[in-house]
Structure 1
Amino acid sequence: MQKPIELRPPEDPRNGPVLLRQQLLAAGYNDNAIARMKRGGVIRPLRGGAYVAAEVWERLDEVGRYGLRCRAVLGQAKAPVVLSHVSALPEYDAPTWGFDLVDVHVTRTDGIRGRRARGVQQHVGTLRPADLVRVNGVPAVTPARAALDTVMLGCSEASLVVMNDLTHRGLASEAELREQYVEMQTWPGMSAAEVLLRLVDPRIESVGESRTFWALYQQRLPRPVSQYEVKDSAGRVIARLDFAWPELGVWLEFDGREKYEKHRRPGESVADAVVREKNREDLVRRVTGWRCIRITWADLADPRRLAAIIHRVLFPAA
């Protein structure tokens, strides 16, 4: 087993704690008392026989609540299992975009064929000691194994989002992903992984950028340079561009809401951040003479239309 990973402080609400029925009974509560706490809004159910304090529940988003449900499945499991596939992602703070968060996915460590119960899908597959780790105190597969596991769930775009995120944050390397693929390449559903490993790019910083990169690939547009650095005449970096085609004199920025909220400077409003981004674009245009394409989440909903727009900018003579 790998060295334990701690990515969040103990008091983080995503750690729970999860309250299991048998623990509450052992502490002196009976089923009537548990029912009263539920009716009174003191606890909230995660799944049958598992609860969390209401104050913790209210502090969590959909992914955080799903993560606690995954922890509840671990606590109630009768067989030796670890979190895997999409269910390992919340512990790594990895994006779950594009994945169904209805079922909890675990993999058995005893090699016995798994089964599917209500809300839980048990998987069976070879688990090496190197594939296992305790993350934030719970057993799970490693980041690289989790990323390759997600490929078997059938959404290549979402798996690329995960791979880019994990490599960008240093939780998995490209070499580790390739090594994991060698171990799993004959497994059902793994045919897409080889393509994804050619596309993975640790420079890509967000879900929106990963989805943009995937759309460019799917629509057979030229592969851009990610996080391209623009320098002034003195060699100083004045901007980093989401994507650029230097030989064509074009760059592309993905304008998600996160860009203007997450990267605001101290005391800066969203409007201030928008103005600063506009000034940055003007500076890049003056220095390079390039043309800028800006896209949003709405553009990603229609990749063919988006590709046509980008193609006209890349190849105006055509």
Structure 2
Amino acid sequence: MQSEIYLRWRLRAAGYGDHEVRRMLRDGSLHPIRRGAYVAGPSEDPAVGHALLVRAALAELSPDAVVSHVSAAVLHGLRVWGIPLDRVIVTRTRRRSGARRGSRVHVHCAPMEPDEIVLVDGLPVTSVPRTIVDVARTVGFEQAVVVADAALEAGLVDEGALAVALARWSRWPGLPAARRAIGFAARGSGSVGESRSRVAIAEAGLPAPILQWEVRRSDGTFVGRVDFGWPRQRTVGEFDGRVKYGKLLRPGQDPADVVYEEKRREDALRAEDLAVVRWTWPDLTHFAPVAARLRSRLT
């Protein structure tokens, strides 16, 4: 995430005229990330593009600006879903809370303790616990769970640190929502889809599953690991995302081989008298049919 930022005034100082900059923008040699700031070539990953926006913005902000909220989550490498990345979010240390929202930068003013500021690739960023609390009190439940799950799964934070962060600023706006999202967050969700699935399962009133359940035969031999398991009801749930199968590819392996192996794995699960319920990205938008299939097994 440390691609070089080219500022217009620096390009001019290096002898590049406006017509040359326009030509490089047309041919793709430069890609605009904000007004007067560019990087070499396009950036297709929204997170990478946002990280570049952060670097460009900090070059023009007050030295006491600390990257925060979703911008900090991106720099910490956390999964982000459903949160706009068109604005850079920073916080300046002030005794009283406040905010100034511009077209490119959203500046919060709030108190911060020294241990809540860390360096990430040389940039001042709110710590992971502070970042998660800030995100969870300012976005929706589902979006907050995705970020908190990612931090717990990556081992970047634990429940104790999050409890301390919540207690430190107990009177801030949005803290009740943050407590709900952080209280629901858990290790074991390996993707955005799995985190969103957990939310959908809970909202449907279904029993909480075991995450990353290891299925074994009666003799103890390993059958497979599943996304969601309800051992007493002999039921497993699997979220099928395209990225999931991409990660399973070994060098030189054909995607069809992965599908075949997955079919064999499911056959082995069913041989253990387990019902397998699968769903995909579109199902997360309208989860009722999947919930009905799960409910028929679980209740």
- TM-score of the superposed pair, with normalisation by structure 2: 0.92
The reply on whether 1:310 has 2:256 as its aligned counterpart is: no
The match for 2:55 is 71
The structure-2 alpha-carbon separation of the partners of 1:139 and 1:22, relative to structure 1 and needing over 3 Å to count, comes to farther
Q: Percent identical across equivalent pairs?
A: 37
Aligned-pair CA distance for 1:265 = 2.7
**Amino acid of the residue matched to residue 47 of structure 1?**
R
Q: Which runs of 5+ in 1 are unaligned?
A: 1-13
Query: Which letter does structure 2 place at the counterpart of 1:184?
Result: W
Say which SS state the counterpart of residue 101 (structure 1) adopts: coil
Match for residue 46 of structure 1 among 19, 23, 33? 33
Q: CA deviation at 1:78?
A: 3.1
Moved more, 104-113 or 80-89: 104-113
Match of 2:252 in 1: 267
The superposition leaves residues 150-202 of structure 1 with CA deviations (integer Å, 9 ceiling, x where unpaired) of 11322110110111111111112222122111123321122112222322111
**2:240 is equivalent to residue 255 of structure 1:** yes
Structure 2: runs of 5 or more not aligned: none
- Looking at structure 1, the residues matched to 290 and 3 of structure 2 have their Cα atoms a distance apart, in angstroms, of 42
Alignment match of 2:87 (pick from 82, 85, 103): 103
- SS in structure 1 opposite 2:4? coil
Q: When the two structures are aligned, how many residues end up with a matched partner?
A: 298
Matched residue, 2:230: 245
- Are the counterparts in 2 of residues 84 and 107 from structure 1 also a CA contact under 8 Å? yes
Check the 8 A contact 1:250/1:292 in 2, yes or no. Answer: yes
State the one-letter code of the partner of 1:20: L
Q: 1:241 to 1:48 in 2, by over 3 A?
A: same
Structure 2 Cα separation of the partners of residues 258 and 268 of structure 1: 15
The offset of 1:79, in angstroms, is 5.1
Change (3 A) 1:78 1:35: farther
| Contact 1:80 1:110 (C-alpha < 8 Å) held by counterparts | no
Matched residue type, 2:79: P
Question: What is the distance in 1 between the residues matched to 2:112 and 2:238?
Answer: 40
Q: Deviations over 1:52-102 (max 9, x none)?
A: 122xx25x4222112211211111113521111111122222122110112
Q: CA deviation at 1:134?
A: 0.9
Q: TM-score, normalised by structure 1?
A: 0.87
Cα deviation for residue 26 of structure 1 reads 4.2
User: Equivalents in 2 of 1:260, 1:107: separation in Å?
Assistant: 39
Instruction: Indicate the residue corresponding to 1:115 in structure 2.
Output: 100
Contact 1:209 1:242 (8 Å CA) reproduced: yes
Secondary structure of 1:124's aligned partner: strand
Answer whether contact 2:136 2:182 (CA < 8 A) is retained: no
Q: Is the 8 A contact 1:83 1:106 kept in 2?
A: yes
CA distance in 1, matches of 2:27, 2:266: 54
Secondary structure in structure 1 of the residue aligned to 2:110: coil
Equivalence map 1:73-152=2 (5 Å) = 73-78=57-62, 80-109=64-93, 111=95, 113-152=98-137
Aligned counterpart, 1:8? none
Q: Partners in 2 of 1:118 and 1:197 — Cα distance? A: 30
RMSD: 2.0
Q: What letter is aligned with 2:3? A: G
